[in-house]
């Protein structure tokens, strides 16, 4: 606990007492407290200030003394001259917790403002420590530890050790802050370690109950330095490798001090061992254990300090085709929020931000991504508000030419427009359409949204309204300026039923809409200037030899637009359509079904994606909790099944009810939303 108590003392000359001939002044106290960063173990005593005791010693043995729990107090009738002001802050138990003093001169016809810092009350306190670790196969547990004061004086600790616990106590410690460093050994073999900052309060006992994690053999972590003068600790921003890297890849990170002026020195530690100095860390992962603690300590020339850390896993890749499971983020774990019922995932074209639609959270989970290393770090969760209708957010679309993100909110019948804020690494809300706005028809049950390749138009489908919205966007702001709606009428009356996916060809000349109720894929031609659509033709499951469109769920095209892939939810399949070179229309060509010809992982197929180089195709099977990986013939579009990456097998996690897929722009990462696991899964090419 770090607390700064400031007394603002205003000294005002009042005039002359004609009877006694004394020059008199008044003293006005403005008391305030400022909470700091809580990163310490503190005694159970109440460390907040309940009231203040103020004393003053002035000229000719004059003085005053009073108590107050108010922020402003005024003392009148003080003689001008030298004064010594003493203040103590007491908690609710009438124990002094802070103290300070200041000397001031009251001058004739002048006013002075004084800032007084109250420091922790000096004295002796006691520290009791209990260390626990899980029941393991340790045959000879040994605990070592030391206390390090702010003056860098070290005190070795002697522990009484049992099979799963160690205890010790230290009496008559000078009040203040100490760094407690502990390590657990099995004989001479280091098993685990930690470091914490503890606070000792005069006449109190601080109890530290600490747990050591032996699962990954994480080494001792380095101390957070908290200084006795109560300056605000340095805040550190870390970029680089994420929570996991493949073995043989380099572990890289960049540190930046956010709230300092002047030069700052950085010191890196891996598992408690000094590694490098400077803002950059780059080390080989070859010899590192599976779980590692990375600590960075920053010390500024102004005398401030701070630290930050990350836990990084080293993963041995098990390849399926060219990709392997790397890691997953889960809702409500490690500070992550917004992944409940994850339905969709999207990545901006520059690759520095990944977003997930949290249907159950009515929100968006936003992750920052380091483009150089691919490291992904949770940034924030944007939740539904009255002005930001994110109820049942189910789909996301990032503009291919700018920084605009649009979300589809199924429950709120609304679209939200956000702009990426690169300076702060977050999303700024712009506006919403639909919801309570009667000017926008067709958004009932909005299920998907997609940008045109040039970013001038936006297309959305309403599953309940049986509709397609064509939204023209302002070229500078991205705000909608015109909306046209197509309904299930005329030629579309039996086709445009429960549209759930919309996708545009790479050249922007065609729009494809998958309709779940009618088991149909509709193809529209598109006016490149106005964005308007004209019905061209369609495919329906079971008609004309077409198979694989029983509840079509996902759409993907090859980069040249010559091959079209569709997932069939109830057909448990991926279907290929090939463009006819003469007519330009697609022709049904082939189908790959779960359980047929060795194909696996497509039960309740949800989505499909083509790798950026066109060599592989990925499809999610929500019922199989899997990603199926296929190799692809770039000429014919035909697929060859390679295998599956399945939840719960070979360390894979997060794919329970795997949903939609997104690719990083350089093609190295595959992102998948896991709806039942409330997760964002990352596959990567080593």
Neighbours of 140 (CB within 10 A): 10
Yes or no: say if 6 and 35 are a contact pair by the CB < 8 Å rule: no
Would you say residue 228 has pLDDT above 70?
no
Closest by CA position to 127, among listed 178, 166, 162: 178
The model's pLDDT over 433-464, given as tens digits with 9 standing for 90+, comes to: 986 666 678 999 999 999 999 999 999 999 99
Structure tokens at 378: 């949770």
Query: Which of 3-7, 307-311, 468-472 shows the lowest per-residue confidence on average (mean pLDDT)?
Result: 3-7
Is residue 113 very low, low, confident or very high in pLDDT (cuts 50, 70, 90)?
Answer: low
The model's pLDDT over 527-585, given as tens digits with 9 standing for 90+, comes to: 999 999 999 999 999 999 999 999 999 999 999 999 999 999 999 999 999 999 999 99
Distance CA 368, CA 421 (A): 11
> Quick one: pLDDT at residue 15?
31
- Residue extents of the structural domains in the chain: 3-120, 123-220, 246-316, 324-684
Measured in degrees and rounded to the nearest 5, phi and psi for residue 490 equal: 60, -125
Q: DSSP characters for 191-227?
A: EEEEEEEEEE-TT-EEEEEEE--TTTT--PPPPPP--
Query: Which of 114-128, 203-217, 371-385 shows the lowest per-residue confidence on average (mean pLDDT)?
Result: 203-217
Architecture of domain 123-220: Sandwich (2.60)
Is residue 11 very low, low, confident or very high in pLDDT (cuts 50, 70, 90)?
Answer: very low
Contacts of residue 19, defined as CB under 8 A and 6 or more positions apart, other chains included, come to none
Architecture of domain 3-120: Sandwich (2.60)
What whole-number percentage of the chain has pLDDT above 70? 84
The domain 246-316 is classified under which CATH number: 2.60.40.10, 3.40.50.2300, 3.40.50.10490, 3.20.20.70? 2.60.40.10
The model's pLDDT over 31-65, given as tens digits with 9 standing for 90+, comes to: 443 333 333 455 566 667 888 888 889 888 888 88
Yes or no: say if 610 and 559 are a contact pair by the CB < 8 Å rule: yes
**If you ran DSSP here, which 8-state letter would residue 135 be given?**
-
Give the helix, strand, coil percentages of the chain, each rounded to 5.
Answer: 0, 55, 40
Residue 240, Cβ density class (10 Å: 0-12 exposed, 13-18 middle, ≥19 buried):
buried
Is residue 518 very low, low, confident or very high in pLDDT (cuts 50, 70, 90)?
Answer: very high
Would you say residue 221 has pLDDT above 50?
no
Structure tokens at 627: 């990603």
Would you say residue 20 has pLDDT above 50?
no
Distance CA 631, CA 642 (A): 7
The domain 324-684 is classified under which CATH number: 1.10.287.1260, 3.90.76.10, 2.170.150.70, 2.130.10.10? 2.130.10.10
Distance CA 445, CA 414 (A): 9
Let me know if the fold of 3-120 is the same as that of 123-220. yes
In which residue are the tokens 């990084």 written?
312
How do beta strands 189-200 and 40-41 pair? parallel
Helix (H, G, I), strand (E, B) or coil at 679: strand
Distance CA 73, CA 319 (A): 71
> Quick one: pLDDT at residue 411?
96
Distance CA 50, CA 96 (A): 10
Is residue 102 very low, low, confident or very high in pLDDT (cuts 50, 70, 90)?
Answer: confident
End-to-end CA distance of the chain: 44
Measure CA 74 to chain center. 48
């Amino acid at each position: 606990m770090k607390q700064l108590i400031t007394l603002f003392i205003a000294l005002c000359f009042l005039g002359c007492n004609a009877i006694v001939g004394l020059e008199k002044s008044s003293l006005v106290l403005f008391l305030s407290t400022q909470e700091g960063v809580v990163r310490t173990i503190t005694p159970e005593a109440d460390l907040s200030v309940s009231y203040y005791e103020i004393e003053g010693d002035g000229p000719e043995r004059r003085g005053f003394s009073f108590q107050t729990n108010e922020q402003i107090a005024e003392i009148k009738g003080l003689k001008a001259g030298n004064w010594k002001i003493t203040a103590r802050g007491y908690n609710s138990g009438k124990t002094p917790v802070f103290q300070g003093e200041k000397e001031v001169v009251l001058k004739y016809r002048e006013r002075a403002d004084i800032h007084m810092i109250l420091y922790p009350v000096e004295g002796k306190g006691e520290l009791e420590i209990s260390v626990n670790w899980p029941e393991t196969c340790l045959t000879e547990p040994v605990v070592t530890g030391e206390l390090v004061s702010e003056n860098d004086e070290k005190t070795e600790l002697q522990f009484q050790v049992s099979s799963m616990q160690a205890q010790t106590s230290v009496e008559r410690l000078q009040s203040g802050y100490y760094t407690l460093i502990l390590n657990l050994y099995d004989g001479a073999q280091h098993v685990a370690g930690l470091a914490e900052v503890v606070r000792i309060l005069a006449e109190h006992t601080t109890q530290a109950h600490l747990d050591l994690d032996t699962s990954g053999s994480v080494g001792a972590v380095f101390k957070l330095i908290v200084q006795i003068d109560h300056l605000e600790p340095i805040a550190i921003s870390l970029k680089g490798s994420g929570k996991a890297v493949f073995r043989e890849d380099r572990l890289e990170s960049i540190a930046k001090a956010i709230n300092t002026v002047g030069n700052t020195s950085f010191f890196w530690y891996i598992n408690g061992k000094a590694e490098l100095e400077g803002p950059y860390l780059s080390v080989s992962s070859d010899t590192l254990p599976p779980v590692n603690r990375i600590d960075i300590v920053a010390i500024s020339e102004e005398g401030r300090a701070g630290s930050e850390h990350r836990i990084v896993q080293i993963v041995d890749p098990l390849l399926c085709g060219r990709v392997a499971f790397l890691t997953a983020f889960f809702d409500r774990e490690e500070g992550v929020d917004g992944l409940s019922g994850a339905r969709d995932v999207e990545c901006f074209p520059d690759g520095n931000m990944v977003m997930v639609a949290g249907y159950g959270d009515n929100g968006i989970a936003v992750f920052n991504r380091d483009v150089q290393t691919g490291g992904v770090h949770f940034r924030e969760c944007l939740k539904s508000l009255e002005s930001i209708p994110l109820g049942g957010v189910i789909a996301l679309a990032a503009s291919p030419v700018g920084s605009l993100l649009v979300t589809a909110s199924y429950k709120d019948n609304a679209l939200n427009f956000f702009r990426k804020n690169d300076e702060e690494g977050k999303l700024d809300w712009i506006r919403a359409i639909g919801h309570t706005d009667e000017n926008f028809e067709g958004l009932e049950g909005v299920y998907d949204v997609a940008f045109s390749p040039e970013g001038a138009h936006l297309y959305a489908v309403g599953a309940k309204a049986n509709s397609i919205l064509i939204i023209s966007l302002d070229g500078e702001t991205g705000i909608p300026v015109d909306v046209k709606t197509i309904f299930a009428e005329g030629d579309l009356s039996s086709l445009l039923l429960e549209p759930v996916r919309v996708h545009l060809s790479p050249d922007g000349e065609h729009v494809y809409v998958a309709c779940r109720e009618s088991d149909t894929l509709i193809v529209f031609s598109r006016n490149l200037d106005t964005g308007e659509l004209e019905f061209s033709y369609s495919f329906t499951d079971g008609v004309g030899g077409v198979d694989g469109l029983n509840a079509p769920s996902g759409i993907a095209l090859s980069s040249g637009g010559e091959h079209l892939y569709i997932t069939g939810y109830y057909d448990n399949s991926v279907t290929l359509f090939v463009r006819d070179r003469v007519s330009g229309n697609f022709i049904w060509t082939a189908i790959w079904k779960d359980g047929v010809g060795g194909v696996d992982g497509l039960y309740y197929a949800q989505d499909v994606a083509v790798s950026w180089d066109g060599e592989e195709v990925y499809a999610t099977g929500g019922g199989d909790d899997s990603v199926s990986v296929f190799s692809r013939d770039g000429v014919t579009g035909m697929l060859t099944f390679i295998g599956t990456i399945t939840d719960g097998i070979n360390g894979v996690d997060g794919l329970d009810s795997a949903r939609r897929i997104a690719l990083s722009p350089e093609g190295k990462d595959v992102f998948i939303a896991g709806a039942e696991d409330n997760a964002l899964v990352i596959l990567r090419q080593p």
